[in-house]
Amino acid sequence: MNQRTQVAVLGSTGTIGQQTLDVIRQHPQDYQVFALSAHQNVEAIFAQCCQHHPRFAVMQCPQAAQQLRQRCREAGLTVDVLADTDGLVTIAAHPEVDTVMAAIVGAAGLLPALAAARAGKKILLANKETLVMAGQLFMDAVVQGQATLLPIDSEHNAIFQVMPPQGYQQLQEVGVNQIILTASGGPFRQYSATQLADVTPASALKHPNWVMGAKITIDSATLMNKGLEVIEAYWLFNAQPHQIEVVVHPQSVIHSMVSYVDGSILAQLGHPDMRTPIAYGLGYPKRIASGVKPLNLIDVAKLEFEAPDMVRFPCLRLAYEVLAVGGTAPAILNAANEVAVAAFLAKQIHFLQISTVIEATLNHLPAMPVASIEHLIEVDQQARVLAIKHIQGLPLFQQTMRASTLTASVLPSVATNTAL
């Protein structure tokens, strides 16, 4: 009998983590959960430990780690419970781990993803911020560690499926003209600027097509999610910024496309269900069942496309601008966005002020060449502090919340903030 692939699921209580475990459950003879991680949701990860019996579980919050340790002991589970970023790095680079699902949301996913790359793992990358913050450092680590990198974002996974084999230096070498990232447009695609000013967190969290976590759902509503994906595509596919186009496709059936010099456009289609790219990553280079039903094109009936509006949704414009600047600019963008989204969800700023906070932070913190991962972490922290200071000066924040509350809720960054 073949030995089962040992999988570490980073961010197992989040949406991607749960869907990864769902796919693994469908293939018990092929995959085994070696490790799980969460931020502080003890109940959820305890239930996962009872079902999957991992060797390790990591809680980012030390108090939550102690609670989980006690729960596992009382239940007779032989799970080694670790804590903090050191615990995440330990399971990501563990010698017995074959595959790492990197599904931690935000900058907190950077260090364990780097550890997995350096250890030569098969990395299923669902964390956007790893490439946005540290694209060159991470890609260098993948090469040096001889790791296998598979993008799990539905868009990049689609591109990966219809691109020629890797190994080229420029897209022209393999006959590619352009990478076309599709975007649903989010719940406010047809809103006017006046309507956008009245958007609430509750309405922003109602994505028309996808089931996702809170942060990525807000990013989808602002189109920052697509902006981060533009930066990811730059690193994943050796594409220049002008070779990456964003097209709004409300049905979310075509997940992305690649345009070739002969006039062909190849696309990957499917239901908007993340289990499809997850199964592709787990099984690669083979294909395995995901549990997603086949797409019926007659039921879909029509496919629509339109250009994104970077005036109403300036976050996409800002992403293109920082990609052109390079250096630490994308890390600054990412940190300011995380702070602004957290403030919006806490009803401390308006929806349209998310981009205002990001742009103000970029204007006040000059971009520099990236010196090291330690340098990036320092810049990340500086950007968060500047974003908070800007938010503290906004009228809505002053009316609704004391500054100390926001600082406590969003200042933690790479080393201290992780997924659900």
Residue type, 108: A
Residue 18 inside a domain? The answer is yes
pLDDT at 396: 67
Rounded CA-CA distance 224/314 in Å is: 8
Q: Which CATH number does the domain housing residue 125 bear? A: 3.40.50.720
Q: Give the number of domains in the chain.
A: 3
Q: What is the pLDDT along the chain (420 residues), one digit of tens a residue?
A: 469 999 999 999 999 999 999 999 999 999 999 999 999 999 999 999 999 999 999 999 999 999 999 999 999 999 999 999 999 999 999 999 999 999 998 778 999 999 999 999 999 999 988 999 999 999 999 999 999 999 999 999 999 999 998 778 899 999 999 999 999 998 999 999 999 999 999 999 988 777 677 898 999 999 999 999 999 999 999 999 999 999 999 999 999 999 999 999 999 999 999 999 999 999 999 999 999 999 999 999 999 999 999 999 999 999 999 999 999 999 999 999 999 999 999 999 999 999 999 999 999 999 999 999 999 999 999 999 999 999 998 876 656 554 444 444 445 455 443 333
Cis? peptide before 208, omega within 30° of 0? no
DSSP state of 306: B
Q: Which CATH number does the domain housing residue 334 bear? A: 1.10.1740.10
Rounded CA-CA distance 217/355 in Å is: 15
Rounded CA-CA distance 23/52 in Å is: 13
Residue 311 inside a domain? The answer is no
pLDDT at 399: 60
Range of the domain at 347: 326-410
pLDDT at 227: 97
Strands (E), 11-108: 31-38, 56-59, 80-83, 99-102
User: Do residue 77 and residue 96 come from a single domain?
Assistant: yes
Other CB atoms within a 10 A radius of the CB of residue 261 amount to: 12
User: Do residue 135 and residue 173 come from a single domain?
Assistant: no
Residue 225 CB burial class (10 angstroms; 0-12, 13-18, ≥19): buried
User: Do residue 131 and residue 182 come from a single domain?
Assistant: no
pLDDT at 398: 59
Domain boundary among 152, 183, 210: 152
User: Do residue 137 and residue 167 come from a single domain?
Assistant: no
User: Do residue 93 and residue 110 come from a single domain?
Assistant: yes
Residue 74 inside a domain? The answer is yes
Domain boundary among 152, 169, 199: 152
pLDDT at 168: 87
Q: Which two tokens stand for residue 51?
A: 């079902």
pLDDT at 206: 87
Rounded CA-CA distance 83/316 in Å is: 36
DSSP states of 123-191: EEE--HHHHHHHHHHHHHHHHHTT-EEEE-SHHHHHHHHHSPPS--SSGGGGTEEEEEEEE---TTTT-
Residue 165 inside a domain? The answer is yes
User: Do residue 33 and residue 118 come from a single domain?
Assistant: yes
Residue 61 inside a domain? The answer is yes
User: Do residue 102 and residue 205 come from a single domain?
Assistant: no
**Of 369, 409, 352, residue with least CA distance to 134:** 369
User: Do residue 146 and residue 266 come from a single domain?
Assistant: no
Residue 308 inside a domain? The answer is no
User: Do residue 341 and residue 372 come from a single domain?
Assistant: yes
User: Do residue 178 and residue 100 come from a single domain?
Assistant: no
User: Do residue 27 and residue 132 come from a single domain?
Assistant: yes
Residue 177 CB burial class (10 angstroms; 0-12, 13-18, ≥19): middle
Residue 420 inside a domain? The answer is no
Domain boundary among 132, 152, 172: 152
User: Do residue 276 and residue 381 come from a single domain?
Assistant: no
Residue 100 inside a domain? The answer is yes
